[in-house]
Structure 1
Amino acid sequence: MDHFKNRSVIIATKHRKEAAIAQVLEAQLGVKTVVPEQFDTDQFGTFSGEVERKDDPITTARVKCMKALELFGGDLVVASEGSFGAHPEVPMVQSDEEWIMLLDRKNGWEIVGRALSLETNFAGRAVAEYEGLERFAQEAGFPDHGLILRDKENSIAQLYKGIQDWGILQEIFEKMRKEHGSIWVETDMRALYNPTRMKVIGQATQNLVERIKSLCPQCAAPGFWIHNVERGLPCAQCGAATHGISRFIWSCQQCGHHEARPNPDKTVEEPMYCFQCNP
């Protein structure tokens, strides 16, 4: 896009997220990506708990962007933040939600991309025998995916991160087991130690680009996107309103223009989701 072509964009990362972000932005927006050295994003929170994340993911991504501009100059920056845990809609299933923000200080734009994926190895377990540790490691995709060992869940008293070698894993485990009897093992969710997460960050980046390319029909600013929904899709059998989405509300954060657009995927809901036909 002409708004971004040939501009330099800082990728505010410590954990090599440029591997999932840089090529997408360069190929589709025509920007030149820059990764500053020694930018410590751990100061805004760590998954392993040494530093508590004080804000929600979007706020944290914004703080990263602003700090990077303060330290390194420029007027265009991207930063991402992830969260792991129970899927918001699918019971008993873990998920990875990734957010990535583009902050354009020159034009006053803030655009956010998102990806929600069931593809994650996010897990943790107490183990007392090496066989149990070995089984967990195999399930987690080790050694391509890194592991963390602790003396107990959520403890930072004894903490080993970024383990990606079977010999080192066993050596640390045996040492800790002598001291504690059992240990806590968990997946290392930092992007450079987790190829599965890196893939989802790439998906979020693609979503960001799609949002950037979606221009407001009123003011032509990028980022015209769905920000709400209207429910009440009629039942295909009786016509009663259901909880299904009937319209998507598209809006512009710059000028406030919004449009209600019909659900492009379906015009009626299955009777099984109707409160009248299937109470």
Structure 2
Amino acid sequence: MFHKRHLLIATKHQKERVIAPIFAAEFGVTSFVSDVFDTDSLGTFSGEIERKEDALTTLRNKCILSATATQSDLVVATEGSFGAHPSLFIAHANTELIMLKDFKNDLEIVAKEISLDTNFNGQKISTEADLLEFAKKVKFPSHGVILKNEEANFSVLFKGIQTEAILLEKFRYLKQYKDYVYVETDMRALYNPTRMQVIEKVTKQLIEKLKSLCPSCQTPGFDVVQVVSGLPCQLCKSPTRSTLYHVYECKKCAYQSNKMFPRGVQSEDPMYCDTCNP
């Protein structure tokens, strides 16, 4: 379905560096990028343009608008979010979504990765010593930083800083007008190798989904749509909250099948049983 087709990678932040080789190796596609549509118009990490929709809707719009602008029928894009981990609230996380839209075959496939491996951070800084300490903590200069005169409602912004000389120059400029400067990590992929690694990881997840074919119609993207609990306890045989099976469904023909015991075990340790260990 994808072999030797032309794939638009909708980005202006060099994500093609990790996405293109993976798709080329797996499907023999020829990838390209285009500046006809500005993906930043849907929102920026640094705050100049607010993202008005949720991440998935924004990602879908990015694919559709980029494909329309370039008259492409196969497009892939990613959308990242940064903040508290959904379950480990004291930790920062990078949630990365990737979507492939195949307009020729009316197909949309999405993969998701939540990673604790991120340097996402930001704070008010008053001294050069504190600035350099912050920079060291966030892996500068291999990872870029941003300086603003305010965290929000800022009027001056310097992005993509990757040398100490420019960092100090811009800091001193902003300090002329205020007691502090707001410094934050630049989360754009081309200035953030750690995020680029997460994008590479989620791209490989997408590839695995594309290689998962529906047993009925052979459409790619045969994937889990429901997780059903009820794995029996080893001791009392009562159903636990652990996963008993996954429900897979085809996005094209709606064929479904169940995969029993996806963790590779057929019973659960009693310590996770609400009956044995209430």
Which aligned runs of 4 or more in structure 1 are off by greater than 6 angstroms? none
Q: Residue 259 in 1 paired to residue 257 in 2?
A: yes
Query: In the TM superposition, what is the alpha-carbon distance from 1:20 to its structure 2 partner?
Result: 1.4
Percent identity, aligned pairs only, is: 46
How many angstroms apart in 1 are the aligned matches of 2:131 and 2:236?
A: 55
Q: 1:24 aligns with which of 14, 22, 25?
A: 22
Count of residues paired in the alignment = 277
Matched, 1:186 2:192: no
- Distance, in Å, in 1 between the alignment partners of 2:126 and 2:30 is 49
Q: For 2:152 and 2:231, how far apart are their aligned partners in 1? A: 45
Q: Does 1:268 align with 2:230?
A: no
CA displacement 1:70-111 (0-9 Å, x = unmatched):
111121111111111111222311111111111111111111
Any idea what SS the aligned residue of 1:23 has?
Answer: helix
SS of match in other structure, 1:179: coil
Does the CA contact (< 8 Å) of 1:150 and 1:160 recur in 2?
yes
Equivalents in 1 of 2:153, 2:233: separation in Å? 52
Structure 1 CA distance, aligned partners of 2:257 and 2:53?
31
What SS does the corresponding residue of 2:195 show, helix, strand or coil?
helix
Secondary structure in 2 matching 1:180 = coil
Aligned partner of 1:214 in structure 2 is 212
RMSD: 1.4
Describe how 1:154-165 pairs up with structure 2 within 5 A: 154-165=152-163
Number of the residue aligned with 2:65: 67
Deviation track 1:190-245 (CA, whole Å, cap 9, x = no partner) reads 11110000111111111111101100111111000112201122222332222211
Give runs of aligned pairs for residues 95-244 of structure 1, distance below 5 A.
95-244=93-242
CA distance in 1, matches of 2:132, 2:224: 44
Give the AA of the match of 2:91. V
C-alpha distance in 2 between matches for 1:156 and 1:235 = 56
Give 1:275's aligned amino acid.
D
Partner of 2:75: 77
* SS of corresponding position for 1:103: strand
Tell me, in whole angstroms, the C-alpha distance in 1 between the residues paired with 2:220 and 2:170: 50
Residues 144 and 192, structure 2, Cα contact 8 Å, conserved in 1: yes
Gaps of 5+ in 2: none
Contact 1:231 1:242 in 2 (8 A): yes
Pairwise CA distance, 1:271: 2.5
Task: Report the Cα distance in structure 2 between the residues aligned to 1:43 and 1:127, rounded to whole angstroms.
Answer: 29
TM-score of the aligned structures, taking structure 1 as reference length: 0.95
Residue pair 1:232, 1:244 contacting (<8 A) in 2 also? yes
1:38-85: CA deviation from partner (whole Å, max 9, x where unpaired): 531110111111111122222212111111121111211111111111
> What amino acid is aligned across from residue 169 of structure 1 in structure 2?
L
Contact 2:14–2:189 (CA<8 Å) still a contact in 1?
Answer: yes
Task: Report if aligned partners of 1:14, 1:38 keep a CA contact under 8 Å in 2.
Answer: no
Segments of 5+ residues of structure 1 without an aligned counterpart are none
